[in-house]
Amino acid sequence: MNQYISRLFSRWGPAARELSAIKMCLHHQNIDFTRAPQLDGVEINMSKLYHLVQRLGGLETVINKKRWGKVADDMKLRGGNYERRLEQIYMKYLLTYDTLSHLERTEQVRYLGSVLHESGDVDCDVDSRISAAWAKWREVAGVICDPKMPVRLKGQVYKTIIRPVLLYGSEAWPVLERHKQSLRVTEMNMLRWMSGVSRKDRIKNSRIRGSLQVRDIADKLQEGRLRWYGHVLRKPADYVGNRCLAMPPPPGPGKRGRPKRRWIDVVRDDMRANGLKAEDAKDRAKWRRLGRKADPGHRGESQGSNRDLR
């Protein structure tokens, strides 16, 4: 029973935010943390372990003065040789987190695969998606970088496996031009590697995209936002999404300078660019036809080769 209460407290109590930051730090190191480490069937409270070590003077002091026994006593681990095992757990799961600055530990948290920043900016989430997409790209690099593989088949692999990772959660991003540029640069680096060409070859991006039949990622961002906004508009007025969109801005004077660009501002620009109005959302076919950004190419075309780019 005590263990069950401890799990609830660690997952939804005051330490939940810090535990999420620890998990995100481990995720970037590709360390699995689906469950907290255990000592003789007892789950270790990682947040408590970290703060106990810091309270005793930090990791270096605890190691030099051999205070792991004190740490074990404070965590109510008695009757066993836990000092060495606690040190191993700390070195594996908390060492990198220990080296982060205070701002890096507290300003952002990962939730359902997305990185949320307390400022509301999406820079951290965009960077996280780019890192995840490169990790997925490396998993299939042996296939998509094979010169014997047809170029358009490589494009299909990219659109099926890599691009969804890069755009995960992008429907809710209030994107700025710098975010679009970061995603474009990432995508073009991947496509050039897949095609076996570099900037020295002086081949235009449009030609590489056309050969691989891949649409500009900024257009796919717009398509995802409009598709999601159409779903929200077709929901009842009391749906949580519509209620959030109808919320007024906080009262009081704002900060000096231009107001932050909101998600709804980006969507309105998308609708204006595509000739859509809010009432068009009821007509699914029209909304889909005007908001869709299909990849270039037609069915039945012959598969290209890497020589098409030379």
Computed on alpha carbons and rounded to an integer, the radius of gyration of the chain in Å comes to 25
Band of the pLDDT at 119, cuts 50, 70, 90?
A: low
Q: What is the dihedral of CA 40, 43, 44, 45, to 10 degrees?
A: -160
Angle, helices 217-233 vs 284-291, to 10°: value is 160
Question: 301 pLDDT exceeds 60?
Answer: no
221 close to 183: Cβ distance less than 8 angstroms: yes
Task: From residue 98, give the alpha-carbon distance in Å to each of 7, 90, 101, 266.
Answer: 23, 9, 8, 38
Given a cut of 50, is residue 6 above it in pLDDT?
no
Domain ranges in the chain?
2-106, 113-246+262-296+304-308
**Whole-angstrom distance, CA of residue 112 vs CA of residue 168:** 10
225, 270 Cβ separation under 8 angstroms: yes
% of the chain beyond a pLDDT of 90: 13
On average, the pLDDT of the chain sits at 80
Query: Quick one: which H or E segment has residue 110?
Result: strand 108-111
pLDDT for 263 equals 84
pLDDT score of 217 more than 60: yes
**Residue 107: CA atoms inside 13 Å, Cβ hemisphere, count?**
13
Q: Is 195 exposed, middle or buried (0-12, 13-18, 19+ CB in 10 A)?
A: buried
**Percentage, residues of the chain above pLDDT 70:** 82
Would you state the pLDDT for residue 65? 84
Q: Across residues 97-115, what is the average pLDDT? A: 68
CATH homologous superfamily of domain 2-106? ARID DNA-binding domain (1.10.150.60)
Q: Using one digit for the tens of pLDDT, what is the confidence trace for 18-72?
A: 776 777 777 777 787 777 788 877 788 888 888 888 888 888 888 888 888 888 8
pLDDT, position 43: 81
pTM of the model: 0.62
